[in-house]
Amino acid sequence: MVRIGVIIVIIAIIISMMAAMYMYTQYQIKFTVVKEGESVIVGPVEYTVVFDGIHKGNSETIPENTFVKIKIIAKNISDTETMLTSGQFFLIDAKDLKHKAIYGVFSKDDLSNVWLEPNKTLMTTTQFDIAYDEFENYNIVIRPSKQQSTVDTALICITNC
C-alpha cells in the first residue's frame, strides 16, 4: 500500500513539473534582433523601422536635447484590427537608458493611437528626446500593445550597428 502511495506522489510531481515547463515556455518572451530596414513581426504586426533623422521640434514642442525621428512601416498580418500606439516603441541609448516616444504633431505622419485594419499597411513616424551623438549606437524596442496579448519583443538597431 505504501509503495502505491509513493508511486502516485512521484507521478504527481512529474506531472506538475511537466505542466510548469509547458507554462514557462508559453510565456517566455520571444526576443528578435534585426537591423534598420529589416522586417520583424511582433504579435499580429510586421514592422519595418528606419532612422529618419533628427530635428529640434516645432513652436509647440521643443525638446530638452534633440528629437531622434524614426519612420515605421506597420502591416497588420492578422484577420482582426489591432491598435498601434507610440507607447509600444522605446529608444535604448548608448548608456542603456530607455526613452519613451514623444507625442506631437511635427508632421502629418506622426503616430498617435491608430487602429490598423486587417491586411493594411500604415507608414508613420515618431520621435524620442535624447542627447544625440552621431557616433553612438541606438536601438528601438517594439513591444506589443495590451490588446495584442503576445510576448513577442523586437530590438532594432537604427544607428552604428
Continuous segment of H or E residues that includes residue 41: strand 39-42
Q: 152 has which bridge partners? A: 30
Domain count, the chain: 1
Determine the structural domain holding residue 118 and report its residue range: 30-159
Q: Is residue 3 part of a domain?
A: no
pLDDT (tens digit per residue) in 129-142 = 999 999 999 999 99
Per-residue pLDDT tens for 107-128? 777 887 889 999 999 999 999 9
pLDDT of residue 153: 93
Check which CATH number belongs to the domain holding 113 and give it: 2.60.40.1240
**Of residues 25 and 41, which shows the higher confidence score?**
41
Judged against a pLDDT cut of 90, whether residue 103 lies above it is answered with no
Other CB atoms within 10 Å distance of the CB of residue 72: 25
Which ranges of the chain does DSSP label H, i.e. alpha helix?
2-26
Does any domain span residue 139? yes
Does the residue 105 lie in any domain?
Answer: yes
Q: How far is CA 107 from CA 56, 75, 121, in A?
A: 13, 21, 19
Look at residue 9 and tell me if it is in a domain.
no
> Is 24 part of a structural domain of the chain?
no
Residue 88 is predicted with a pLDDT of 92
Residue 114 lies inside a defined structural domain of this protein: yes
- Look at residue 2 and tell me if it is in a domain: no
